[in-house]
Amino acid sequence: MAQTVLKNQRGVKTFQSLDVELRNVFKFFNQEPAIHGVDLDIKQGEFFSILGPSGCGKTTTLRLIAGFEKVDAGKLLIQGQVMTNVPPYRRPVNTVFQSYALFNHLNVWDNIAFGLRLKNLSGSEINSRVGEAIKQVKMESLRSRFPNQLSGGQQQRVALARALVNRPAVLLLDEPLGALDLKLRKEMQIELSNLHKNLGLTFIMVTHDQEEALCLSDRIAVMNQGKIEQIGTPSTIYERPETPFVADFIGDTNLFTGEIADVDPTYIKIVTKTGLSIVTIRSSDTPNELAQSVVVSVRPEKIQISLYQPNLPTNCFEGRLINVMYLGTHVNYVVELTNGININVLQPNTMGNLPDRDTPIYIWWSETDCLAISQTSNVKNS
């Protein structure tokens, strides 16, 4: 099995096994690249998500790992073995589909046992493994029901058990919760997270749901147009996006395009195309060349609002309130600045009186709460 070299806090080298590796992988459809030079290292036992909009190549990447599509260029390895000519049924992986793909004429027990019977395992082995899998997904009391007698969440559990009963090294999840309603989706996210922790298997999930990827994953790869824009932990992806696409796609944000006007050892000043002067903290990975084109990202929850002008030297702007959206736990404000730019602000609901539209208002944020991103950022695998 392949290993990756890591360093602990003392700088001592340690080794961690890799379950899945993609090395400069390409996939073409009608001579057009659907996957364009993808590199991935997925560690043993981690919950790894591939996130992106429709058509970005995430499902194709999953199908390449599963063996449902063939790699046209590059290498794909599972547990250190090249998978070029290995058919899907001989790979140490199983896939859970969004549609569940259950057999309607078989009950829960027989759906889960189906794959084991094809392998001609003994009856006692089948009973033991199906019993273990059905217990893992908490479906013991419903073992005799048929798919049309189950809720969406229950069908999802059966699909998971049918994959787990084969004891794969890697479980592939293709939009596994996409067919569920919001409340059930939240419940199944918790179930899926607990299942991963209890089993210790490698989970690879494809999703377009940002919140789902952020709350479930150890690491996330954000894809766009067949390429990977950024790989990192959920907090890194959200707090330190490396490209304008990642900043815009992950969560909500306010983006300002401009140029660097001034740099000192601590701060960077950016002047936007609409004339705003924004100051941000300088760090080792912050763009810092004068006249360099950048995008500034400010998350709505980082912005403060006031009816009175704060005594602040930077990142404070005047405007008027043009929309107020009550969201229950939070309130979303849309503020039009004096230069005509609209800013989204998200504040906790404190049960106070909400201001009326057209109210003059001030917004501000800290230099540490905005991020300058180069428009030509390089992708890093962290």
List pLDDT tens digits, range 327-366: 888 999 999 999 999 999 999 987 677 778 888 999 999 9
140 in any annotated domain: yes
Lookup: tokens for 311: 């005594």
* pLDDT of amino acid 3: 57
* pLDDT of amino acid 333: 93
Q: Is residue 227 located within the same domain as residue 345?
A: no
Q: Of 218, 242, 266, which residue constitutes the final position of a domain? A: 242
* pLDDT of amino acid 353: 74
Whether the pLDDT of residue 116 is over 80: the answer is yes
The rounded mean pLDDT for the chain is: 89
Lookup: tokens for 4: 């990756």
Taking residues 124-137, what's their average pLDDT? 90
- DSSP secondary structure, 195-261, as one string: HHHHH--EEEEEES-HHHHHHH-SEEEEEETTEEEEEE-HHHHHHS-SSHHHHHHSS--EEEEEEEE
Whether the pLDDT of residue 250 is over 60: the answer is yes
Q: Is residue 234 located within the same domain as residue 351?
A: no
Whether the pLDDT of residue 18 is over 60: the answer is yes
Distance CA 13, CA 252 (A): 38
Q: Taking the complete model, does pTM exceed 0.85, yes or no?
A: yes
Q: Of 193, 210, 242, which residue constitutes the final position of a domain? A: 242
Q: Of 221, 242, 263, which residue constitutes the final position of a domain? A: 242
Whether the pLDDT of residue 15 is over 70: the answer is no
Q: What phi and psi, each to the nearest 5 degrees, are found at residue 220?
A: -130, 140
Q: Is residue 212 located within the same domain as residue 343?
A: no
Whether the pLDDT of residue 205 is over 90: the answer is yes
Total domains in the chain come to: 2
Whether the pLDDT of residue 148 is over 70: the answer is yes
The enclosing domain of 195 has a CATH number of 3.40.50.300
Q: Is residue 276 located within the same domain as residue 204?
A: no
Paired sense of beta strands 13-29 and 3-7, if any: antiparallel
Identify the domain containing residue 320 by its residue range: 252-374
Query: Is 296 in contact with 313 (CB distance < 8 Å)?
Result: no
